[in-house]
Amino acid sequence: MRVVSLSSSLLALLIAVLVTMLVARLQRGFIELHDATEQYIVCVNTAREMQDGSNYLTEQARLFTLWGDIEYLDNYFTEENETRRVDLSAEKLQKCSGESDSFAYITTAFQLSRALTKVEYRAMRLMVEAMGVDPAEWPQELLDTVLSEEEAALSKSEKVEAAQHLLRSRTYQEKRDGIAASITAYRNTMAAVTRDRQTKAAGRLSASLWQLGVYSVLLVVSIFASWALVYLLIVKPIARGIGYVRRGELVPVRGAMEVRELASVYNEMFEENQEKQRIIRREAERDALTELLNRRCFERTLGAYKQAGEPFALVIVDIDTFKTINDTMGHSVGDAVIKRVASALGGAFRGGDHICRIGGDEFTVIVSDITKADADVICRKMAAINERLSVPEDGVPTVSLSSGVAFANNKKAAERIFENADEALYRVKKTGRNGCAVY
Protein backbone atom coordinates (compact mmCIF):
# COMPACT_ATOMS: atom_id res chain seq x y z
CA MET A 1 0.00 0.00 0.00
CA ARG A 2 2.83 2.29 0.87
CA VAL A 3 4.51 1.44 -2.43
CA VAL A 4 1.28 2.12 -4.28
CA SER A 5 0.77 5.29 -2.32
CA LEU A 6 4.33 6.37 -2.92
CA SER A 7 4.08 5.48 -6.60
CA SER A 8 0.80 7.34 -6.87
CA SER A 9 2.28 10.30 -5.06
CA LEU A 10 5.37 10.29 -7.27
CA LEU A 11 3.20 9.95 -10.35
CA ALA A 12 0.97 12.71 -9.09
CA LEU A 13 4.01 14.87 -8.41
CA LEU A 14 5.41 14.13 -11.86
CA ILE A 15 2.12 14.94 -13.52
CA ALA A 16 1.77 18.07 -11.43
CA VAL A 17 5.19 19.19 -12.62
CA LEU A 18 4.30 18.38 -16.21
CA VAL A 19 0.97 20.18 -15.92
CA THR A 20 2.70 23.22 -14.49
CA MET A 21 5.12 23.20 -17.40
CA LEU A 22 2.24 22.94 -19.83
CA VAL A 23 0.44 25.86 -18.21
CA ALA A 24 3.62 27.91 -18.45
CA ARG A 25 3.89 26.93 -22.11
CA LEU A 26 0.31 27.99 -22.66
CA GLN A 27 1.07 31.32 -21.05
CA ARG A 28 4.10 31.79 -23.28
CA GLY A 29 1.98 30.88 -26.26
CA PHE A 30 -0.58 33.54 -25.45
CA ILE A 31 2.20 36.07 -24.89
CA GLU A 32 3.73 35.11 -28.23
CA LEU A 33 0.36 35.64 -29.90
CA HIS A 34 0.12 39.03 -28.23
CA ASP A 35 3.64 40.02 -29.25
CA ALA A 36 3.07 38.96 -32.85
CA THR A 37 -0.15 40.95 -33.07
CA GLU A 38 1.39 43.97 -31.34
CA GLN A 39 4.40 43.92 -33.67
CA TYR A 40 2.11 43.69 -36.69
CA ILE A 41 0.00 46.65 -35.55
CA VAL A 42 3.09 48.78 -34.89
CA CYS A 43 4.67 47.89 -38.24
CA VAL A 44 1.50 48.51 -40.26
CA ASN A 45 0.78 51.83 -38.54
CA THR A 46 4.38 52.96 -39.04
CA ALA A 47 4.26 51.97 -42.72
CA ARG A 48 1.06 53.99 -43.06
CA GLU A 49 2.80 56.94 -41.38
CA MET A 50 5.66 56.66 -43.88
CA GLN A 51 3.25 56.72 -46.82
CA ASP A 52 1.33 59.64 -45.31
CA GLY A 53 4.58 61.59 -44.96
CA SER A 54 5.53 60.95 -48.60
CA ASN A 55 2.03 61.90 -49.78
CA TYR A 56 2.16 65.09 -47.71
CA LEU A 57 5.46 66.16 -49.30
CA THR A 58 4.02 65.57 -52.77
CA GLU A 59 0.86 67.49 -51.90
CA GLN A 60 2.74 70.53 -50.58
CA ALA A 61 5.14 70.57 -53.56
CA ARG A 62 2.24 70.40 -56.02
CA LEU A 63 0.28 73.09 -54.22
CA PHE A 64 3.33 75.37 -54.21
CA THR A 65 3.89 74.97 -57.96
CA LEU A 66 0.16 75.43 -58.58
CA TRP A 67 -0.54 78.48 -56.40
CA GLY A 68 2.90 79.91 -55.65
CA ASP A 69 2.07 80.33 -51.95
CA ILE A 70 5.25 80.35 -49.83
CA GLU A 71 3.29 78.70 -46.99
CA TYR A 72 3.27 75.43 -48.96
CA LEU A 73 7.04 75.69 -49.43
CA ASP A 74 7.47 76.21 -45.67
CA ASN A 75 5.17 73.27 -44.96
CA TYR A 76 7.22 71.08 -47.27
CA PHE A 77 10.56 71.77 -45.61
CA THR A 78 9.07 71.62 -42.11
CA GLU A 79 7.99 68.07 -42.91
CA GLU A 80 11.26 67.25 -44.67
CA ASN A 81 13.63 68.62 -42.01
CA GLU A 82 11.69 68.61 -38.72
CA THR A 83 8.75 66.19 -38.72
CA ARG A 84 10.65 63.69 -40.92
CA ARG A 85 7.93 61.07 -41.02
CA VAL A 86 9.50 59.24 -43.96
CA ASP A 87 12.98 59.00 -42.40
CA LEU A 88 11.84 58.21 -38.87
CA SER A 89 9.31 55.63 -40.06
CA ALA A 90 11.99 53.87 -42.12
CA GLU A 91 14.28 53.68 -39.07
CA LYS A 92 11.47 52.36 -36.88
CA LEU A 93 10.41 49.79 -39.47
CA GLN A 94 13.97 48.45 -39.70
CA LYS A 95 13.78 47.63 -35.99
CA CYS A 96 10.26 46.24 -35.85
CA SER A 97 10.47 44.12 -39.01
CA GLY A 98 12.70 41.61 -37.25
CA GLU A 99 14.46 38.97 -39.30
CA SER A 100 11.85 38.86 -42.08
CA ASP A 101 12.65 39.94 -45.64
CA SER A 102 9.85 42.49 -45.59
CA PHE A 103 12.17 45.43 -44.89
CA ALA A 104 13.44 45.22 -48.48
CA TYR A 105 10.10 46.72 -49.56
CA ILE A 106 10.55 49.61 -47.14
CA THR A 107 14.07 50.17 -48.50
CA THR A 108 12.60 50.37 -52.00
CA ALA A 109 9.87 52.76 -50.86
CA PHE A 110 12.46 54.94 -49.08
CA GLN A 111 14.70 55.08 -52.15
CA LEU A 112 11.75 56.02 -54.36
CA SER A 113 10.73 58.70 -51.85
CA ARG A 114 14.25 60.19 -51.97
CA ALA A 115 14.08 60.14 -55.77
CA LEU A 116 10.76 62.01 -55.62
CA THR A 117 12.35 64.56 -53.29
CA LYS A 118 15.01 65.40 -55.89
CA VAL A 119 12.33 65.99 -58.52
CA GLU A 120 10.34 68.14 -56.09
CA TYR A 121 13.46 70.20 -55.28
CA ARG A 122 13.91 70.92 -59.01
CA ALA A 123 10.27 71.86 -59.42
CA MET A 124 10.33 74.19 -56.41
CA ARG A 125 13.67 75.69 -57.54
CA LEU A 126 12.06 76.52 -60.90
CA MET A 127 9.09 78.01 -59.06
CA VAL A 128 11.04 80.31 -56.70
CA GLU A 129 13.09 81.57 -59.64
CA ALA A 130 9.92 82.24 -61.62
CA MET A 131 8.40 84.07 -58.63
CA GLY A 132 11.52 86.15 -58.15
CA VAL A 133 11.97 85.11 -54.51
CA ASP A 134 15.15 86.50 -52.96
CA PRO A 135 17.72 83.64 -52.90
CA ALA A 136 18.60 84.67 -49.35
CA GLU A 137 15.18 83.34 -48.35
CA TRP A 138 15.54 80.00 -50.19
CA PRO A 139 15.95 76.81 -48.19
CA GLN A 140 19.47 75.40 -48.43
CA GLU A 141 18.19 72.39 -50.36
CA LEU A 142 16.97 74.66 -53.18
CA LEU A 143 20.26 76.56 -53.20
CA ASP A 144 22.05 73.23 -53.64
CA THR A 145 19.75 72.16 -56.47
CA VAL A 146 21.29 72.83 -59.89
CA LEU A 147 19.05 73.36 -62.91
CA SER A 148 20.03 72.28 -66.39
CA GLU A 149 21.07 74.96 -68.88
CA GLU A 150 17.78 74.52 -70.72
CA GLU A 151 15.77 74.97 -67.52
CA ALA A 152 17.79 78.00 -66.42
CA ALA A 153 17.17 79.67 -69.80
CA LEU A 154 13.37 79.37 -69.55
CA SER A 155 11.17 82.43 -69.09
CA LYS A 156 9.24 82.89 -65.85
CA SER A 157 6.02 81.49 -67.26
CA GLU A 158 7.91 78.61 -68.85
CA LYS A 159 9.58 77.82 -65.53
CA VAL A 160 6.19 77.69 -63.81
CA GLU A 161 4.91 75.37 -66.53
CA ALA A 162 8.05 73.23 -66.32
CA ALA A 163 7.73 72.97 -62.51
CA GLN A 164 4.13 71.86 -62.76
CA HIS A 165 4.98 69.39 -65.53
CA LEU A 166 7.70 67.76 -63.41
CA LEU A 167 5.15 66.93 -60.72
CA ARG A 168 2.57 65.69 -63.23
CA SER A 169 4.92 63.60 -65.32
CA ARG A 170 4.41 59.89 -65.87
CA THR A 171 7.83 59.10 -64.39
CA TYR A 172 6.99 61.02 -61.23
CA GLN A 173 3.65 59.24 -60.85
CA GLU A 174 5.27 55.86 -61.45
CA LYS A 175 7.59 56.51 -58.51
CA ARG A 176 4.62 57.46 -56.33
CA ASP A 177 2.82 54.30 -57.39
CA GLY A 178 5.99 52.36 -56.63
CA ILE A 179 6.03 53.71 -53.07
CA ALA A 180 2.41 52.70 -52.53
CA ALA A 181 3.02 49.26 -54.06
CA SER A 182 6.11 48.67 -51.93
CA ILE A 183 4.34 49.63 -48.72
CA THR A 184 1.37 47.44 -49.65
CA ALA A 185 3.75 44.55 -50.32
CA TYR A 186 5.39 45.20 -46.96
CA ARG A 187 2.04 45.07 -45.18
CA ASN A 188 1.09 41.85 -46.96
CA THR A 189 4.43 40.26 -46.08
CA MET A 190 4.14 41.28 -42.44
CA ALA A 191 0.59 39.92 -42.37
CA ALA A 192 1.85 36.58 -43.71
CA VAL A 193 4.69 36.49 -41.18
CA THR A 194 2.28 37.29 -38.37
CA ARG A 195 -0.19 34.61 -39.49
CA ASP A 196 2.65 32.09 -39.59
CA ARG A 197 3.74 32.98 -36.06
CA GLN A 198 0.16 32.79 -34.83
CA THR A 199 -0.41 29.43 -36.53
CA LYS A 200 2.72 27.95 -34.98
CA ALA A 201 1.80 29.31 -31.56
CA ALA A 202 -1.73 27.93 -31.90
CA GLY A 203 -0.30 24.53 -32.85
CA ARG A 204 1.88 24.50 -29.76
CA LEU A 205 -1.07 25.52 -27.62
CA SER A 206 -3.20 22.75 -29.10
CA ALA A 207 -0.47 20.15 -28.51
CA SER A 208 -0.07 21.35 -24.94
CA LEU A 209 -3.78 21.00 -24.30
CA TRP A 210 -3.76 17.47 -25.73
CA GLN A 211 -0.89 16.49 -23.45
CA LEU A 212 -2.74 17.99 -20.54
CA GLY A 213 -5.66 15.69 -21.29
CA VAL A 214 -3.38 12.62 -21.36
CA TYR A 215 -1.80 13.52 -18.05
CA SER A 216 -5.23 14.06 -16.55
CA VAL A 217 -6.30 10.53 -17.54
CA LEU A 218 -3.13 9.07 -15.98
CA LEU A 219 -3.79 11.05 -12.84
CA VAL A 220 -7.32 9.58 -12.57
CA VAL A 221 -5.89 6.03 -12.85
CA SER A 222 -3.16 6.60 -10.25
CA ILE A 223 -5.02 8.56 -7.66
CA PHE A 224 -8.55 9.85 -7.88
CA ALA A 225 -8.08 12.60 -5.38
CA SER A 226 -5.13 14.10 -7.19
CA TRP A 227 -6.96 13.80 -10.48
CA ALA A 228 -10.02 15.49 -9.03
CA LEU A 229 -7.88 18.33 -7.72
CA VAL A 230 -6.15 18.85 -11.02
CA TYR A 231 -9.45 18.60 -12.87
CA LEU A 232 -11.14 21.15 -10.63
CA LEU A 233 -8.27 23.59 -10.50
CA ILE A 234 -6.68 23.23 -13.94
CA VAL A 235 -8.49 21.19 -16.59
CA LYS A 236 -11.97 22.51 -16.05
CA PRO A 237 -11.02 26.21 -15.84
CA ILE A 238 -8.89 25.89 -18.98
CA ALA A 239 -11.64 24.04 -20.87
CA ARG A 240 -14.12 26.74 -19.92
CA GLY A 241 -11.61 29.44 -20.72
CA ILE A 242 -11.25 28.14 -24.26
CA GLY A 243 -14.97 28.63 -24.77
CA TYR A 244 -14.72 32.22 -23.56
CA VAL A 245 -11.73 32.77 -25.84
CA ARG A 246 -13.59 31.38 -28.85
CA ARG A 247 -16.59 33.57 -28.10
CA GLY A 248 -14.34 36.60 -27.72
CA GLU A 249 -15.22 37.15 -24.05
CA LEU A 250 -13.22 37.78 -20.89
CA VAL A 251 -12.10 34.57 -19.19
CA PRO A 252 -13.20 34.23 -15.52
CA VAL A 253 -10.17 34.34 -13.22
CA ARG A 254 -10.51 31.09 -11.28
CA GLY A 255 -8.83 27.72 -10.82
CA ALA A 256 -5.19 27.05 -9.99
CA MET A 257 -2.75 29.88 -9.58
CA GLU A 258 -1.20 29.31 -12.98
CA VAL A 259 -4.59 29.17 -14.66
CA ARG A 260 -5.67 32.35 -12.90
CA GLU A 261 -2.48 34.03 -14.03
CA LEU A 262 -3.07 32.78 -17.56
CA ALA A 263 -6.64 34.10 -17.50
CA SER A 264 -5.43 37.43 -16.12
CA VAL A 265 -2.80 37.73 -18.85
CA TYR A 266 -5.34 36.83 -21.51
CA ASN A 267 -7.88 39.28 -20.07
CA GLU A 268 -5.29 42.05 -20.05
CA MET A 269 -4.38 41.25 -23.64
CA PHE A 270 -8.05 41.08 -24.61
CA GLU A 271 -8.90 44.41 -22.99
CA GLU A 272 -5.81 46.07 -24.46
CA ASN A 273 -6.72 44.77 -27.89
CA GLN A 274 -10.34 45.91 -27.51
CA GLU A 275 -9.14 49.36 -26.47
CA LYS A 276 -6.75 49.53 -29.41
CA GLN A 277 -9.51 48.49 -31.78
CA ARG A 278 -11.81 51.11 -30.27
CA ILE A 279 -9.14 53.78 -30.67
CA ILE A 280 -8.43 52.70 -34.24
CA ARG A 281 -12.14 52.78 -35.12
CA ARG A 282 -12.59 56.15 -33.44
CA GLU A 283 -9.57 57.66 -35.19
CA ALA A 284 -10.85 56.30 -38.49
CA GLU A 285 -14.31 57.86 -37.97
CA ARG A 286 -13.68 61.00 -35.91
CA ASP A 287 -12.16 64.40 -36.66
CA ALA A 288 -9.19 64.88 -34.32
CA LEU A 289 -9.92 68.54 -33.50
CA THR A 290 -13.69 68.47 -32.90
CA GLU A 291 -14.45 64.78 -32.19
CA LEU A 292 -17.19 65.05 -34.83
CA LEU A 293 -17.57 62.45 -37.56
CA ASN A 294 -15.00 62.96 -40.33
CA ARG A 295 -15.44 63.16 -44.09
CA ARG A 296 -14.94 59.43 -44.65
CA CYS A 297 -17.66 58.59 -42.14
CA PHE A 298 -19.91 61.30 -43.64
CA GLU A 299 -19.62 59.84 -47.12
CA ARG A 300 -20.34 56.34 -45.83
CA THR A 301 -23.35 57.54 -43.80
CA LEU A 302 -24.73 59.65 -46.66
CA GLY A 303 -24.41 56.66 -48.99
CA ALA A 304 -26.39 54.52 -46.56
CA TYR A 305 -29.16 57.12 -46.37
CA LYS A 306 -29.28 57.35 -50.17
CA GLN A 307 -29.70 53.58 -50.45
CA ALA A 308 -32.35 53.41 -47.73
CA GLY A 309 -34.75 55.73 -49.55
CA GLU A 310 -36.13 57.10 -46.27
CA PRO A 311 -36.83 60.84 -45.89
CA PHE A 312 -33.92 62.89 -44.57
CA ALA A 313 -32.27 66.29 -44.89
CA LEU A 314 -28.70 67.40 -45.51
CA VAL A 315 -27.36 70.66 -44.10
CA ILE A 316 -24.04 72.07 -45.37
CA VAL A 317 -22.55 74.70 -43.06
CA ASP A 318 -19.66 77.11 -43.70
CA ILE A 319 -18.01 79.49 -41.20
CA ASP A 320 -18.16 82.97 -42.71
CA THR A 321 -14.81 84.74 -43.33
CA PHE A 322 -12.95 81.97 -41.52
CA LYS A 323 -9.79 82.53 -43.55
CA THR A 324 -9.65 86.11 -42.28
CA ILE A 325 -9.79 84.85 -38.69
CA ASN A 326 -6.96 82.42 -39.34
CA ASP A 327 -4.85 85.04 -41.11
CA THR A 328 -5.36 87.82 -38.56
CA MET A 329 -5.68 85.98 -35.25
CA GLY A 330 -3.72 82.81 -35.85
CA HIS A 331 -4.51 79.14 -36.25
CA SER A 332 -4.99 78.59 -32.51
CA VAL A 333 -7.91 81.04 -32.50
CA GLY A 334 -9.18 79.44 -35.70
CA ASP A 335 -9.13 76.04 -34.02
CA ALA A 336 -11.02 77.47 -31.04
CA VAL A 337 -13.66 78.89 -33.41
CA ILE A 338 -14.04 75.51 -35.14
CA LYS A 339 -14.48 73.72 -31.80
CA ARG A 340 -17.04 76.28 -30.66
CA VAL A 341 -19.03 75.87 -33.88
CA ALA A 342 -18.87 72.09 -33.48
CA SER A 343 -20.17 72.40 -29.92
CA ALA A 344 -22.99 74.70 -31.03
CA LEU A 345 -24.07 72.29 -33.78
CA GLY A 346 -23.95 69.37 -31.36
CA GLY A 347 -26.12 71.21 -28.88
CA ALA A 348 -28.72 72.23 -31.45
CA PHE A 349 -29.38 68.98 -33.29
CA ARG A 350 -30.71 65.65 -32.04
CA GLY A 351 -28.54 62.86 -30.77
CA GLY A 352 -29.60 60.66 -33.69
CA ASP A 353 -28.52 63.21 -36.30
CA HIS A 354 -25.06 62.89 -37.85
CA ILE A 355 -22.87 65.98 -37.41
CA CYS A 356 -19.65 65.89 -39.44
CA ARG A 357 -16.65 68.06 -40.19
CA ILE A 358 -15.74 67.44 -43.83
CA GLY A 359 -13.23 70.24 -44.41
CA GLY A 360 -11.35 73.07 -42.78
CA ASP A 361 -14.38 75.25 -41.99
CA GLU A 362 -17.07 73.10 -43.59
CA PHE A 363 -19.56 71.02 -41.63
CA THR A 364 -22.52 68.86 -42.55
CA VAL A 365 -25.53 67.58 -40.65
CA ILE A 366 -27.56 64.58 -41.83
CA VAL A 367 -30.99 64.97 -40.22
CA SER A 368 -33.00 61.76 -40.21
CA ASP A 369 -36.77 61.26 -40.46
CA ILE A 370 -37.63 64.77 -41.68
CA THR A 371 -39.37 66.23 -44.73
CA LYS A 372 -39.33 69.60 -46.45
CA ALA A 373 -42.48 70.54 -44.56
CA ASP A 374 -40.26 70.88 -41.49
CA ALA A 375 -37.63 73.04 -43.20
CA ASP A 376 -38.37 75.94 -40.84
CA VAL A 377 -37.28 73.73 -37.91
CA ILE A 378 -33.77 73.46 -39.32
CA CYS A 379 -33.64 77.15 -40.25
CA ARG A 380 -34.68 78.08 -36.70
CA LYS A 381 -31.93 75.87 -35.32
CA MET A 382 -29.33 77.56 -37.52
CA ALA A 383 -30.65 80.99 -36.56
CA ALA A 384 -30.35 80.07 -32.87
CA ILE A 385 -26.80 78.87 -33.44
CA ASN A 386 -25.88 82.12 -35.20
CA GLU A 387 -27.37 84.08 -32.32
CA ARG A 388 -25.28 82.09 -29.85
CA LEU A 389 -22.11 82.55 -31.90
CA SER A 390 -22.69 86.31 -32.15
CA VAL A 391 -21.64 86.64 -28.50
CA PRO A 392 -17.91 86.23 -27.68
CA GLU A 393 -17.15 83.38 -25.32
CA ASP A 394 -13.93 82.54 -23.44
CA GLY A 395 -11.85 84.70 -25.74
CA VAL A 396 -13.28 83.14 -28.90
CA PRO A 397 -14.38 85.87 -31.34
CA THR A 398 -17.87 86.12 -32.77
CA VAL A 399 -18.57 84.35 -36.04
CA SER A 400 -21.56 83.62 -38.22
CA LEU A 401 -22.56 80.59 -40.26
CA SER A 402 -23.98 80.21 -43.74
CA SER A 403 -25.98 77.06 -44.36
CA GLY A 404 -27.77 75.37 -47.21
CA VAL A 405 -30.46 72.71 -46.71
CA ALA A 406 -31.77 70.08 -49.11
CA PHE A 407 -34.34 67.32 -48.58
CA ALA A 408 -34.92 63.86 -50.05
CA ASN A 409 -37.82 61.47 -49.58
CA ASN A 410 -36.74 58.71 -51.99
CA LYS A 411 -33.65 57.29 -53.66
CA LYS A 412 -33.98 59.40 -56.79
CA ALA A 413 -34.22 62.66 -54.85
CA ALA A 414 -31.30 61.63 -52.67
CA GLU A 415 -28.89 61.25 -55.60
CA ARG A 416 -28.24 65.02 -55.87
CA ILE A 417 -28.95 66.05 -52.32
CA PHE A 418 -25.36 67.19 -51.68
CA GLU A 419 -25.29 69.31 -54.84
CA ASN A 420 -28.69 70.78 -53.98
CA ALA A 421 -27.64 71.71 -50.45
CA ASP A 422 -24.42 73.21 -51.82
CA GLU A 423 -26.42 75.30 -54.28
CA ALA A 424 -28.60 76.58 -51.43
CA LEU A 425 -25.44 77.43 -49.46
CA TYR A 426 -24.08 79.33 -52.46
CA ARG A 427 -27.24 81.47 -52.53
CA VAL A 428 -26.73 82.40 -48.89
CA LYS A 429 -23.11 83.38 -49.48
CA LYS A 430 -24.06 85.36 -52.56
CA THR A 431 -26.66 87.38 -50.66
CA GLY A 432 -24.51 88.37 -47.72
CA ARG A 433 -23.83 85.22 -45.67
CA ASN A 434 -25.08 84.68 -42.08
CA GLY A 435 -28.23 82.84 -43.03
CA CYS A 436 -29.93 79.63 -44.07
CA ALA A 437 -31.45 78.76 -47.43
CA VAL A 438 -33.53 75.74 -48.48
CA TYR A 439 -33.20 74.21 -51.92
pLDDT of residue 117 exceeding 90, the answer is: yes
pLDDT tens readout for residues 49-76: 989 999 999 999 999 999 999 999 999 9
Domain ranges of the chain: 1-285, 295-438
Average pLDDT over residues 24-37: 73
pLDDT tens readout for residues 219-251: 787 676 666 766 677 777 787 778 877 887 788
Dist. CA 246–CA 228, nearest whole Å? 26
Q: Decide: 379 and 438 in contact? Cβ < 8 Å.
A: yes
* Active-site residue flag, 35: no
Question: Choosing from 318, 320, 353, 361, which is the catalytic residue?
Answer: 361
Average pLDDT over residues 174-203: 87
Three-state SS at 408? strand
Q: What is the pLDDT of residue 1?
A: 44
Question: Which residues are within 8 A (CB) of 51 and not within 5 positions of it... i.e. 6 or more apart?
Answer: 109, 179, 180, 183
Q: Decide: 175 and 55 in contact? Cβ < 8 Å.
A: no
Q: What is the pLDDT of residue 168?
A: 93
Average pLDDT over residues 301-312: 92
Structure-model confidence comparison of residues 107 and 34, the more confident one: 107
Confidence of residue 157 (pLDDT cuts 50, 70, 90): very high
Average pLDDT over residues 290-301: 93
Question: Which residues are within 8 A (CB) of 284 and not within 5 positions of it... i.e. 6 or more apart?
Answer: 296, 297
pLDDT tens readout for residues 255-290: 777 778 877 887 777 777 666 566 556 566 888 899
Average pLDDT, the chain: 86
Question: Which residues are within 8 A (CB) of 63 and not within 5 positions of it... i.e. 6 or more apart?
Answer: 69, 72
Q: What is the pLDDT of residue 3?
A: 45
The CATH homologous superfamily to which domain 295-438 belongs is: Reverse transcriptase/Diguanylate cyclase domain (3.30.70.270)
pLDDT of residue 23 exceeding 80, the answer is: no
pLDDT tens readout for residues 418-427: 999 999 999 9
pLDDT tens readout for residues 373-385: 999 999 999 999 9
Instruction: Determine the residue type at 182.
Output: S
- Percent of the chain at pLDDT > 70 equals 91
Dist. CA 336–CA 395, nearest whole Å? 9
